[in-house]
Chain A
Amino acid sequence: MLGILSSIGFLDDPADIFIFLGRLHPLVVHLPIGFLFLAALAQLASTKPKFQAITPFISYVWALGALSAFFAVVFGYFLSLSGDYEPDTLFWHKWMGVGVLLFSIACYYITKKTTKPFLYTKWFFTGLVTVSVFITGHLGGNLTHGSTYLLEYAPNTIRGLAGMPPKVEPRKKVTELDSADVFLDLISPMLDSKCTSCHNAGKKKGKLKLTTYNEILKGGEGGEVVIPGDALNSELFKRISLPEDHDDFMPSEGKRPLTDNEVKLIEWWIKVGAPPDGYFTQLNPEKEVIAMAENFFGLDRENQLYGRTVVAPDKVVVDSLRSRGFVLNRLMKDNYFMGANFSLSERKLELSDVELLVQLKEQLIWLDISNSNVQDAHLEKIGQLENLVRLDVSGNAITDAGLNHLVGLKNLESLNLFDTDISDGALIAIPKLKALQKVYLWQTKISPEGISKLRKEHSDLKIVSERE
Chain B
Amino acid sequence: MSKYHNFMQRPLSRREMLGICKGGFGTLAFASLFGGLPLVGCDRPKKGLAASSDLYLGPHYLPKAKNVIFLYMDGGVSQVDSFDPKPRLAKENGEDPRKKFKVDNTQFDNVGKILKSPWDFKQYGECGMPVSELFPHIATCVDDLALIRSMTSNFPEHTNANYFLHTGSGIQGRPSMGSWMTYGLGSENKNIPGYVVLDGGLIPPGGLDNFKNGFLPASYQASVLRAGAEPVANIRPQESIQNLQEQKLGFIKQLDQNLIGKMGEVDAVESAISNYELAYKMQSSIPELTEFGAESEATKKLYGLDSDDPHTKGYASQCLLARRLVERGVRFIELTCPNVGADRWDQHSNLKQGHERNAHAVDQPIAGLLKDLKSRGLLEETLVVWTGEFGRTPFAQGSNGRDHNPSAFSMWMAGAGIKGGTIFGKTDDYGYRVIENEVTIHDLHATIMHLLGLNHEQLTFRFGGRDMRLTDVHGHVIKDILA
Contacts and interface: CB of A to CB of B under 8 A. Distances in A.
Whether both chains belong to one complex is answered with yes
Interface of A: 302, 306, 312-313, 315, 318, 327-333, 336-339, 341, 343-344, 390, 392, 394, 414, 416, 418, 438, 440, 442, 464, 466-468
Contacts, number: 90
Contacts of B453: 331-332
B482 to A, nearest CB: 12
Given A330-B39, A390-B381, 14 more contacts: A313-B39, A315-B37, A329-B188, A331-B58, A331-B59, A332-B61, A332-B62, A339-B41, A438-B380, A464-B374, A464-B375, A466-B375, A467-B298, A467-B371
Contact of B62 (A331, A440, A442): A331
A329 B377 contact: no
B41 A328 contact: yes
A468 B58 contact: no
A416 B375 contact: no
Nearest to A392: B377
Interface string B156-199: 00000000000000000000000000000110111000000000
Interface in B424-483: 453
B59 A333 contact: yes
B39 A440 contact: no
A390 B62 CA distance: 12
B458 to A, nearest CB: 8
Contact of A333 (B42, B58, B186, B376): B58
Contacts of A337: 62
Interface in B52-88: 56, 58-63
A332 B452 CA distance: 11
If over half of B's interface residues share one DSSP class (helix, strand or loop), that class is named, otherwise mixed; here it is loop
B123 interface: no
Given A312-B36, A318-B37, A332 B374 contact: no
A306 B376 contact: no
B40 interface: yes
Interface string B389-430: 000000000000000000000000000000000000000000
B376 A332 contact: no
Contact of A440 (B189, B190, B372, B377): B377
Nearest to B367: A468
B188 A467 contact: no
A175 to B, nearest CB: 15
A339 B63 CA distance: 11
Given A332-B59, A468-B140, A414 B380 contact: yes
Contacts of B56: 333
Given A327-B188, A468-B140, A418 B58 contact: no
B41, B185, B189, B327, most chain A CB atoms within 10 A: B41
Contacts of B377: 392, 394, 414, 416, 418, 438, 440, 464
Contact of A330 (B40, B140, B190, B298): B40
Contacts of B201: none
A312 B380 CA distance: 27
Contacts of B302: 467
B328 A344 contact: yes
A466 B374 CA distance: 9
A166 to B, nearest CB: 24
B45 interface: no
B375 A327 contact: no
Interface string B34-52: 0011011110000000000
A328 B371 contact: no
Nearest to A438: B380
B329 A329 contact: no
Contact of B376 (A302, A313, A315, A394): A394
Contacts of B41: 327-330, 339, 341
Interface string B316-343: 0000000000011100000000000000
B375 A313 contact: no
A206 B37 CA distance: 55
Given A327-B42, A333-B58, A438-B380, A344 B329 contact: yes
A467 B380 contact: no
B377 to A, nearest CB: 4
A269 to B, nearest CB: 32
Contacts of A338: 39
Given A312-B37, A327-B329, A467 B372 contact: yes
A341 B188 contact: yes
A332 B62 CA distance: 5
B227 to A, nearest CB: 25
Given A329-B41, A333-B58, A440 B376 contact: yes
A306, A328, A329, most chain B CB atoms within 10 A: A329
